[in-house]
Amino acid sequence: MSPSPLPTSGHGAPPLARLLEHTADAVQAVRGGKSLTDVLSRCPAELRPGVQSLSFHTLRWLGSATEVRAMLAPKTPPPAVDALLVTALALLWPVEGEGPPPYAEHTLVDQAVGAARVRTPAAANFINAVLRRFLRERDALVTAARHSALGAYNHPLWWVERVKHDWPQHWQALLASANQRPPMTLRVNARRGTGANYVGGLASLGRAATLLDDPALGGQAVVLAQPCAVNQLPGFAEGEVSVQDAAAQRAARLLVDGANLKPQARVLDACAAPGGKTAHLLELAELDLLALDSDPVRLARVQDNLNRLQLKAELKAGDGRLPQTWWDGRLFDAILLDAPCTASGIVRRHPDVRWLRRPDDIQALSRIQSELLDALWPLLAPGGRLLYATCSIFPAEGRQQIDAFLQRQPPGSALLQPQSPGHLLPLPDNAALGALGRGVALQDGFFYALIQKARSP
């Protein structure tokens, strides 16, 4: 999902009350265990951008809104009423560094009450009273809510404790970073141009952007000063540029650079959907690439991406843990395993994740990651490379996973390469970008381990 600012009212814009109705539906669905992506896909197209923005904001501040709602209404209202109430409270919550909201407080309260009259008519007066009391007592209520871990950090308590245990020196910064709007980062197609030229083209259109000078990104990563719809990006439809976070852009270059892959080298992208890394690999080299994913529906998105970029790969639906069901017996020169994980490194882009995950998910996903590593490693040719990746900040899905895998291999048969970045934390560390950085991390949380298989004696 691309980041976007909160919607503003104006000529032709959907009424805020309608947006609040659908946002409350989305929040209620997430609380019930549904993915926000799936919920938004069923939202009316004309409302979807605004509902996405409001849902993102609400889910980032859902902990604080839930705490203060409990103070104002200790008896939990029915789910539909509570979802609308916490949505409005989250949108009235003071957020440092984001400036004033695009609508006045009285307007938001009025529109929330209007949404209640349509959605839960009997609760309209109750919602009006709660919101107006919050505005009268906001400073005291905000201070009180921040005394709890849920209200202070806007993550479930188990998540807070896990991050604190895993990263004792950075846990508060990591939790704070997850509540910030991420930058919109582009990957310029290396077959079509350079990042520097694309930045220049944007400037000529009045759109500010910065080229990231990290050598690991190859001069093709561009950060926009202000997010925009993809149809506003010059050359997007023609395949000149794609939206991809800077951390994710490291994958293809880690696997390809220095690998001395011959033209039409055989490469496997396991767990390939939605196809960003698949496409990046094909932009960088002439490959015989198999894109594998267990979900045929998500695999269709890979094909859509390849079609737009005018690239070709073989696509196959299959479980990477069961090569006997899809593998033709030919060894791969390189394998990218972007394994299923908690997505704990990308919660600022997918703020529903923190509310959907459960503590035992880490162990369950770690088991899947281990099974994938063990199943795919024998498919790699001697001298070949396997890049293991997860968009997670939890060491159980990163460093600990790879340490255990290497211990299972015969001595000297699997070699961790020195260019492996390990854990990349989503923390601000790019002071050179000045105002563009705004204290926001310019990359998501990822883990990468590049492992080379020893050549046969």
Q: Which residues are catalytic?
A: 391
Beta bridge partner(s), residue 293: 317
How would you list the strands of the sheet with 185-188, edge to edge? Answer: 209-211, 221-224, 185-188, 241-243
Alpha carbons 346 and 392: distance in angstroms, whole number = 7
Are 419 and 448 in contact, with CB atoms under 8 Å apart? no
Distances (CA, A) of 190 to 219, 264, 281: 9, 18, 10
Alpha carbons 29 and 24: distance in angstroms, whole number = 8
DSSP states along 53-68: HHHHHHHHTHHHHHHH
DSSP states along 17-35: HHHHHHHHHHHHHHHTT--
Beta bridge partner(s), residue 265: 287
Q: Do strands 446-453 and 414-416 pair parallel, antiparallel, or not at all (unpaired)?
A: antiparallel
Q: Closest Cα to residue 348, out of 80, 56, 140, 124? A: 56
Q: Do strands 332-338 and 265-270 pair parallel, antiparallel, or not at all (unpaired)?
A: parallel
Alpha carbons 87 and 26: distance in angstroms, whole number = 10
Are 222 and 244 in contact, with CB atoms under 8 Å apart? no
Are 443 and 247 in contact, with CB atoms under 8 Å apart? yes
Q: Closest Cα to residue 270, out of 131, 387, 350? A: 387
Are 272 and 278 in contact, with CB atoms under 8 Å apart? yes
Alpha carbons 69 and 421: distance in angstroms, whole number = 43
Alpha carbons 80 and 20: distance in angstroms, whole number = 12
The Cβ-side half-sphere exposure at 177, using a 13 Å CA radius, reads 24
Angle made by CA atoms 367, 370, 371, in degrees to the nearest 5: 85
Alpha carbons 381 and 288: distance in angstroms, whole number = 15
Please tell me whether residue 187 adopts helix, strand or coil conformation. Answer: strand
